[in-house]
Structure 1
Amino acid sequence: MNLDSRIKFRHLLCFLEIARQGSFARAADVMAITQPAISKTLKELETLLGTRLFERDKAGVELTAAGVRFLRYAGPCVQALREGVSTLRNEQHQPPQVRVGVLSTVESQLMPEVLRRLHGRHSALVVSVATGPGTYLLGQLHVGDLDLVIGRITDSPQVQGLQFEHLYSEAMALIVRPGHPLLARPQAAAVSGYPLVLPLAGTTIRQHADSLFVQCGITPSAQRLETLSPTLSRRYVLASDAIWVAPRDAVGLDLANHELAELDLGVREPGGSVGLCANAAIPLPLPAQWLCEVVREVAAEYRKQP
């Protein structure tokens, strides 16, 4: 079937912004138009396609199955057009750029080493790093706003339709400050008596933290901090007797420098799969290929570590 010439660029922009924001109101604000106008534009597109692209609920809007399929093509289409316009505006003379989404579990140790090696090999390269929850970053990847996402994301529903490459498995650990009372005599039963620092409920990494508690027979304390911020977690643990259930990647340097300590209960939670995620519908730009090459190199060294 030939492409319907009535589908305009504004229809695609409207659809992508609603998918990106998860809300008609927020999408309207970003596009600087009224909410009725954005609703009308979407209705036009749905009529032309002969299907509903979004379902409304109290939390906002959610893509239908048809909307998810259309997103795989609308995002790359708009991104390709933007790149074509850029080449005609002499923006091809700008330094090469790669846009990557990074989850907090690889932000502290993996990515600094990757960036060090990458910039050592490419003297003119801009690396634009976005951080946040996996669902948000994968949504950006779907619409073409990111080239790659790196982290533990295999359990996210947003990974459907994307290409995932396993790099290594990431273990979980119980982390405390040096001099913590439990270091002298680690006991699983005693963990319940201290505040906990945990990943946010509902995240993949939280599931692995909960699994570690089950293996150790620990009843989690009701006093807890829930966050995905390594910086906040680290500072709170250093200032208190709290116990941080953390990916080893997030604390590897702290442990090596003896700035934090691991509470060893004799149990290892294998954690999840850390990997590279790309949008198969969009050809990977050369700078993104450079990044992938270095990420694979560093990950191979991780796999050799005991």
Structure 2
Amino acid sequence: MATSLLDPRIKLRHISCFLEVNRQRGVVPASQALGLSQPAVSKSIAELEDLLQTALFDRSGRKLVLTRQGEIFARHAMAAAAAIREGIESMDLNRSSHTVVRLGALPTVEVEVVPRAVERFMHTPFACRVHVESGPSGHMLAMLRDGNLDFIVGRLASPEVMNGLIFEHLYSEQLTFAVRPSHPLASKPTLSYRELEPYPMLLPPANAIIRPIVDSLFIAGGAGRFRYEIETVSNGFARAYALENDAIWTISRSVVAHDLEIGQLVALALDTSASHGPVGITMRSNEQLSVVTSALLDAVREAAAEVAARG
């Protein structure tokens, strides 16, 4: 008798509930996201743990976290969910026109690397529809874990949120403090961080990858309170605001590289050498990538090499 490839007692609802509880770190928010009752989600998790004969979640804290066995199962469950989604898409008779690669672009790369990569990809035999998602790191990491993104390009996230994910380093870059040419500090040959205090600061939000690096620079430089702070992930808004006001825009250098090159913005003479950080590709671990996703990844690698070579 042929052996079943999958225990018939394990249903898709078990996998869906497990992945959502892991993402939400709790049964209640997971039930709301799935549109199910809390008892139904709890029952599915209990059934799955019984079938696997192991505890998948550590319930000792306020939020549910994966056990070691849960981490192992999560990697395979996420890969399986992504494979099912791709399989459903591939059933479309007009597959070539409906295939889509979904990538997340953090602010670090959405101005130079990703546009170059997409343009390069569109001239390959694997060209298809590309969906580019932008936003805070936490939002896109959640989408990646859920299978709603194929990969993310940008700065390396903190180690505690990289469980089940892998990172491919492409290059490193540092932060810059950009202002309009007429800014009172623009022409000063050297600056201390305390001299920034009288001016408005355009900052990444608290949950952004580069925010701890920015805060560390301020602490090390002895900077105290600023005139006022504006938090944003919108490069368009920040650029417009910096050009119209004496605000100081704190951002990864590649984001404003073109502005600096043409003289639209000026980099303040601050020591930002301590802000160097890795930029690369974040993916789900142990996942078999489709041919088109691999082709776009290659285009990202080539575009990143061009940007890094330019300095």
Compute the TM-score of the two structures, normalised by the length of structure 1: 0.86
> Structure 2 CA distance, aligned partners of 1:88 and 1:96?
10
Cα gap change, 1:172 to 1:239, in 2 (>3 Å): same
1:78 aligns with 2:74: no
- The alignment yields a C-alpha RMSD, in angstroms, of 2.7
Letter in 1 for 2:104: G
Q: Which runs of no fewer than 5 residues in structure 2 stay unpaired?
A: none
Alpha-carbon distance change, 67 to 233 in structure 1, aligned in 2, over 3 angstroms: farther
Contact kept? 1:169, 1:273, Cα under 8 Å: yes
Q: How many pairs does the alignment contain?
A: 304
| Cα pair 2:150 2:293 within 8 Å, conserved | yes
Q: Which runs of 5 or more residues in structure 1 are unaligned? A: none
Q: Distance in 2 between matches of 1:145 and 1:177?
A: 38
Counterpart residue type for residue 126 of structure 1: R
Q: Residues 35, 45 of structure 1: CA spacing in aligned structure 2 closer, same or farther, 3 A cutoff?
A: same
Shift of 1:217: 4.3
Q: Check 1:55–1:244 CA distance in 2 against 1; reply closer, same or farther (3 A cut).
A: farther
TM-fit CA distance, 1:254: 1.9
Q: Secondary structure, in 3 states, of the residue corresponding to 2:210?
A: helix
Checking the alignment, whether the CA contact within 8 Å between 2:57 and 2:67 is kept in structure 1 is yes
Q: Is residue 2:238 matched to residue 1:233?
A: yes
In the TM superposition, what are the counterparts of 1:244-283 in structure 2 within 5 Å? Answer: 244-283=249-288
Q: How far is the alpha carbon of 1:3 from its aligned partner?
A: 5.7
State the distance in 1 between where 2:88 and 2:209 align. Answer: 39
- What secondary structure is seen at the aligned counterpart in 1 of 2:263? coil
Question: Does the 8 A contact of 2:199 with 2:227 survive in 1?
Answer: no
Structure 1 distance, partners of 2:215, 2:84, is 45
1:147-202 per-residue CA deviation (whole Å, 9 max, x = no partner) reads 21111124242223322211110111111123111113353232122122222235
Alignment deviations for residues 23-77 of structure 1 (CA, whole Å, 9 cap, x no partner):
534433443322322222222222323314264866x654444433221011111
CA deviation string 1:88-123 (max 9, x = no partner): 453634443211122122112221122222223358
Cα distance change on mapping 1:67 and 1:78 into 2, 3 Å: same
1:20 aligns with 2:3: no
1:164 aligns with 2:167: yes
Hey, what does 2:229 align to over in structure 1?
224
Q: Percent identity?
A: 36
Deviates more, 1:188-197 or 1:156-165: 156-165
Structure 1 residues 295 and 220: CA distance shift in structure 2, 3 A: farther
* Mean Cα deviation higher: 85-94 or 107-116: 85-94
Secondary structure at the aligned position of 1:105 is classed as coil
- The residue aligned with 2:70 is 67
